[in-house]
Structure 1
Amino acid sequence: MTGVAGILEPDALYPVGAREPPLAIIDVRSPVELARGALPGAHALPLLSDEERHQVGLCYARAGQAAALALGWEITEATLPARIAAWREVATHGPTAVVCWRGGLRSRLATELIDLPDARAVAGGYKAVRRHLTQTLPAAVARVPLLVLTGLTGAGKTELLETLDDGAASGPFVLDLERLAHHRGSSFGATPGHQPAQPTFEHEIASALRLHRSRLVVVEDESRFVGRRTLPPALLDAMHGAPLAVLETTLDDRIARVFEGYVRSPAERDGVAATKTALSEATLRLRRRLGNPRTRRVLDALERAETAWFDPAAHHDWIRLLLEDYYDRLYERNRAALARPVALSGDAATLAAAIRTHALEFERSTT
C-alpha cells in the first residue's frame, strides 16, 4: 500500500497472490550493502560506490549531514548523470519503488532526481522490507499445503521439478530451494559461482511464497542446510510435517545420472583435474561418516579414473559405493525419523502426472 505523502509501505513490494511484483524496484544501496542481502527482482543501481559511501560516512561523523551531503554532490558530479539515466530507464516503464538501507536520505534523493510521479521511496528501506518478509513468512508458508518431493540420491528430483515448473497458470507451484540457494544440497552439491547471502536466500523464499496465487506448493526434500544456507524454521517445520511424493527409479539409472551431473558435465565445463579435485575434497568432507576404508576406496577409484574420465564404467563402483553405503542409508534414517505419510509415488512420468492431478484437485476444492 501507499503511505504518507506518496511513500510506499514495505508490503507493497510483494503482495500476496499477485504472481509478479507490481512494482519495479531500484536498490540504491552501495555494493557492499547489496552483498549482505538483496531484494528479489531489484535493480542494483547504487547512488554511491563503496569508497564514495565510506568518504561520505566519515564526513557525516566528523561534520554532520550538511557537510556530508555537500561532499556527496562533489564526488559524484562526474558520474551522477549516468546513474540518474539508469534509474529513469527503469522508472519510465511503470510504478517504481526506490530502496536504500533505512528509507532515508539516499532513497529520497534518488526519487527527487528521477523526478517521475510513479517513482516513490519505501518507508524504512531495505531493513523494513526484510523485517516484513521475515515476519510474514510463517503465514505465507501456512496459506497453502506443501507436497514434499523426495527420493534416493540421483533419482532425478531436480529434473522432475523442472518438468513441473512449466509456467502454467494452473497446477503446482514449484519452490526450487536448490536453485535459490545455488547449491545441490550435499557435500558434492557446489555449483559454479557463490551462494547468495543468507538474507537474500530468505527473501527469495518469502517473496515466492507470498506472490504465488493459492496453489499446491511442491518443494524438494532438504535438510536444514542447503550448502551453507539455512532453511527458515517455519518452512523446515512445515516440510517435516507435509506428505511426500516419492520418486522411484533403478540403481543403474541413479548411477548414470550422478555420473552425468557430477562427473562428465563438470569436467567438460571446468576440466578433468579440477573436477577430480572437487570430488576428492567433497569425499574427504565425508570421511568421518564414511570411515577411512571407504573414503580411501573412493579416492583411489578417482585416481584410477582420471585417464578414462569420460567412461561411465570407470566411475561405476565408487558412485555405487557412495549411494548404497552412505546416501541411501542416510535417506532411510531420515525417512524413518520423520515418519511422514506418502501421498504419491512412482517413476518420473507417473509422478509428474499424479502431482499435476493432485494440484488441480486442490484448486477445484478451493474455488
Structure 2
Amino acid sequence: MRADTADYRALFLSDTPLMDARAPIEFARGAFPHAANLPLMSDRERHEVGLCYTQQGPDAAIALGHRLVSGEVKASRLAAWAAFANAHPDGYLYCFRGGMRSQIVQTWLREEAGIAYPRVTGGYKAMRGFLLETIAKAAHPTAMVVLGGMTGTGKTDVLTGLAQGIDLEGHAHHRGSSFGKRVRAQPAQIDFENALAIDILRRQDAGHRVLVFEDEGQTVGGRSMPFDLYQAMQQCPLVWLEDTLEHRIERILRDYVVNLRAEFIAAYGASDGDARFAERLRQSLDKIAKRLGGERHKRLRAMLDEALDVQRDTGAVDAHRAWIARLLVEYYDPMYAYQRQLKRDRIVMSGDAGAVVAYLRRLGA
C-alpha cells in the first residue's frame, strides 16, 4: 500500500487526483484543481452531527454519524469511493483536517471494498495553508516584475507568451476592467487563490527566479488580490508596454466585441447569445456613466447602440471602432497616463511588445 502523504508540493505539481470527503457546502466554498467531491456526509447530515456534537459531545456525534451513513446510503457512497480509487490508483483522499472523516473513508474502503487507498495528512486545511504560504513567499519585490501599459496594448498577450508570466486575469476569469466580465462566472475567491498559488509553484519549479504579473488593482472583477502579493506589486520594478492607438483599438475590438460575442453565442445560441452580448456591452458602459459624465456617456452610448445594430443586421464590426477609440482617448488614456506618472520612478524599461518580451526574457527569470 502507498503511504499517507504530507508532500503537498508533489501533489500539486503532479496534478494528483484527489478525493475530497468534505461536505458539498465545504467543497463549494473552495477546492483544489483535480479534486472530486465524494463526501462522507451530506450537508444535512453534517449539520445534524455538528449540532449533536455541541449538545451531547463527541461520542454521541460519532454514533449519530454512523447511523446516518449506513445501509443503502453507505453502500452508495462506498461504491463511489471505490470507483474513484480504481479509476485513479495514483490518487489520495482527504477531509478538512485529515482526521476522522478521511480515516473512516479509508477504513471502509480497505475493510469493505478491499482497496488500500492513502490519504493526505493534515487534509484540506494543511494543503490550503501550503498554497497561501507559496503566494506569500513569492510576494517579494526582488522576485517580481509588473507589466503595465495603456488599455489594449496587449499585456495579457505578452504575459501568456512568457514562460515566467502569471496571468492573474486568466485565473480570475475576468479582464480586469469595467468591460471585463466574461460569460462564465468567476471562480470562488479560494479557488482563484489556489489556482494562482499552483501556477506560481509550477513556474518556480521550472527554475524561474523572477515572475511577471500584470499591473492590477486590489480586485480583478469580484476577486480580491492576495494582500501580500498586491503590496509587493506596488514596490517591484515596472515594465511599460507601448503600442499604437490603431493596434489597441483592434485588440479591444477582438477581445471585447468579436471574442465576447462568440462566447455568448457558444453558451446561449445565436439569437439569445447575441442579445445577451449586446446587453452586456451596454451594461459595461453604463457602469462608468458617472465617471464619464452625462453628456459623454450619452454620446458614447449612442455610438455603441448604432454599432450593435449594424453588427446584428449585417455581422460587420467596423462601427465599433468609433466608440472604442473615443473611450480610449477620452477616458482610459488620461487615467492610465496619470497612473504612469505616479509610478514613473519604478519604470525600468518601456517599449513595444518585441522589446518588452526580449527584456523580460533576458532577466533569466
Q: How many residues are matched?
A: 342
Matches within 5 A, 1:62-77: 63-74=60-71, 76-77=73-74
Aligned partners of 1:26 and 1:98 also within 8 Å? yes
Alignment CA distance shift 1:339-1:90 (3 Å): farther
Aligned partners of 1:140 and 1:206 also within 8 Å? no
Aligned partners of 2:49 and 2:62 also within 8 Å? no
User: Which residue among 15, 19, 23 is the counterpart of 1:30?
Assistant: 23
Partner-residue secondary structure (3-state), 1:187? coil
State the Cα deviation string for residues 326-366 of structure 1 (Å, max 9, x = none): 2112212222223343333332233223322222xx5xxxx
Higher helix share: 2
Q: Does 1:319 align with 2:319?
A: no
Q: Distance in 2 between matches of 1:294 and 1:228?
A: 27
Q: Distance in 2 between matches of 1:110 and 1:235?
A: 37
TM-score, normalised to structure 1, is: 0.83
Match of 2:352 in 1: 347
Instruction: Please tell me the residue identity of whatever aligns with 2:284.
Output: A
Match of 2:338 in 1: 333
Instruction: Please tell me the residue identity of whatever aligns with 2:298.
Output: R
Q: CA deviation at 1:58?
A: 5.6
Alignment CA distance shift 1:340-1:240 (3 Å): farther
Alignment CA distance shift 1:306-1:136 (3 Å): closer
Moved more, 30-39 or 110-119: 110-119
Match of 1:169 in 2: none
Partner-residue secondary structure (3-state), 2:349? strand
Q: Distance in 2 between matches of 1:81 and 1:33?
A: 20
Aligned partners of 1:111 and 1:121 also within 8 Å? no
User: Which residue among 254, 261, 266 is the counterpart of 2:248?
Assistant: 254
Alignment CA distance shift 1:262-1:283 (3 Å): same
Q: Distance in 2 between matches of 1:38 and 1:237?
A: 25
Match of 1:155 in 2: 153
RMSD, aligned CA: 2.7
Matches within 5 A, 1:1-367: 8-9=5-6, 12-14=7-9, 20-21=13-14, 23-54=16-47, 57=50, 63-74=60-71, 76-89=73-86, 91-93=88-90, 96-115=91-110, 119-123=118-122, 125-135=123-133, 137-142=135-140, 145-164=143-162, 172-211=163-202, 212-213=204-205, 214-215=207-208, 216-270=210-264, 271-309=273-311, 310-359=315-364
Alignment CA distance shift 1:192-1:82 (3 Å): farther
Aligned partners of 2:307 and 2:317 also within 8 Å? no
Alignment CA distance shift 1:312-1:121 (3 Å): closer
Q: CA deviation at 1:284?
A: 1.4
Alignment CA distance shift 1:249-1:81 (3 Å): same
State the Cα deviation string for residues 199-218 of structure 1 (Å, max 9, x = none): 22222223333442341211
TM-score, normalised to structure 2, is: 0.83
Q: CA deviation at 1:42?
A: 2.8
Aligned partners of 2:166 and 2:212 also within 8 Å? yes
Alignment CA distance shift 1:144-1:86 (3 Å): farther
Aligned partners of 1:108 and 1:121 also within 8 Å? no
Aligned partners of 1:258 and 1:319 also within 8 Å? yes
Partner-residue secondary structure (3-state), 1:313? coil
> Structure 2: 5+ residue runs without aligned partners?
265-272
Q: Distance in 2 between matches of 1:35 and 1:20?
A: 23
Partner-residue secondary structure (3-state), 1:122? coil
Partner-residue secondary structure (3-state), 1:354? helix
